[in-house]
Chain A
Amino acid sequence: MANIQLRNVRKAFGAVEVIKGIDLDIQSGEFMVFVGPSGCGKSTLLRLVAGLEDITSGELSFDGKIVNGLAPSKRGIAMVFQSYALYPHMTVYANMAFGMQLQGGGKEEIKKRVEAAAELLQITPYLARLPKQLSGGQRQRVAIGRAIVRDPKVFLFDEPLSNLDAALRVATRLEIAKLHHDMHNVTMVYVTHDQVEAMTLADRICVLRDGLVEQVGTPLELYENPQSLFVAGFIGSPKMNFLTGKFAEPFKAKTIGARSEHLEVKSNGSGLWKGEVIHSENLGSDSYIYVNVGSDEPLIVRENGTALHQAGDVLSVGLIEGEKLHKFDAVGKPFDA
């Protein structure tokens, strides 16, 4: 319902500049994920959008209206925090109703909205409980419910899944994806350091690094056409294999990169690189073979099914027919040649 524009947004804490001039357009109804390593400024950026931090310079506008100086509650946002941040002394119902009560909503209206949100998130049985009587996953649902009740134009998520265990994380991730689908006209901005969350949830991903935008694009764009060495290494799991020096010279590049799933063992010995297996990881559906070809780090090769190679085997590794080798120049920019 709202598109968000950032124009040369900067944020400094004292002498330290954390956000170093960001230009970004977030479309109305879009699910945008900020991703990056810790300390890249992604949480700060979200807090600037929320209004919890003041923007040092630059312009932030919602639907073309500058909101730099607007209080968070006037921006039409709702935020879900990493630690849930529920009010510990209030029941689930009171937690969800608090924001609307402050805005002076009618009692009936509040009740209707809280119950609708509780229904949507399946937390109706817990409305009379206190947060401490709930499990982590239930608390996170309440936190999301509290955000829904405010009927925001923009949803902000600050690493909402990082306090949950692995199984719950997957379930809640699905929940959030469904929520975005159901509330298709609400803009969502989501911060995470987990690239899997970013890949699975996002309409578009914004990769941040040192307070600057590294690349913005759909998950597939980032995966297939990373615009820098950093993005290439950050998106995808396991990490893209990078080879430098004498390995890259034949390709007239400073660095070459190949994803593990684009490599295969060439049984006829026609591969580009040759090396000894130092380790193999068996995940059942697929397996990863670590091959020491003489570069700084071992080459990781993905194979379907269980690995048939053992440590000590000497293999020849090459690109799967038709797959692309990523080439990067001295400053880490990709080029095709």
Chain B
Amino acid sequence: MFGSIKKYETFADRSNPITKIFMAVILFITVVFIHNPNYLFHLSIIMMLAMIVLSGVKFRYLAALLCFILLIGFISSLYMIFYGEGTTTLYRLGIIHITEESFVRGIHIMMRGLVLSFFGATVIFTTRITDVFYSLMQQLKLKPKYAYSFMAAVRMVPIIASEYMALRQARKVRRALIDKKYVSGLKGFRTAVITLLSQSIRRAYRLGIAMEAKGFDDGPRTYYHKTSFSLSDVFLILLTAACIYTAIQLGQTAAPFASTDAR
């Protein structure tokens, strides 16, 4: 999917999607248990570097993504910066009360998001969606009916999107004739969603019957696309572990934050 913007491939592209998802879960748990902002500071920088190196995507796309992730991360931590508990006041305006403690805690929450977003972006850039389902079926023995219905449904997303555009244009043409309340607001939302849902359900029903008739059921089956675990998976696991370890070691020596506990 990213063939046009990728420059090279690494072992991250060759490792099994299940390993990547598993590593993402591990990283999530790790991040929730890290309370020292210094560790997290280094971990987010290391993850950013890992994303830049491993994704193999042209830098200007990565730069745009980086700005986006930083902005969203900052906005989502504002609630804590503005309203968190703390004693050392930095700034106060009406109900907004920024303290040193709440500021560090806010930045800490932001860095948690950054670590996960950077790793997530690496996964997205190095994984084909269909491979996820093939390895779920082959390595984790997911029942094919779930995997194939998901793959079939993903194919329908562009159709759903184009149907929505058609609906919008149809409304635009009839703008003079129909009441405004059917276009905007709750009623507009409701009619749009019901139209999309009913058409999609009909299409899914037809496709489902056809697939059942063709034998996409739970019986034993063989696969043309084979997925397996390999040495690349070992590399990925080792790399993730090394990132976490390095971040903790660096956090003990180079500490940009005075506090060692964001709580």
Do A and B pair up? The answer is no
Q: Which residues of A contact B (CB under 8 A)?
A: none
Q: Which residues of B contact A (CB under 8 A)?
A: none
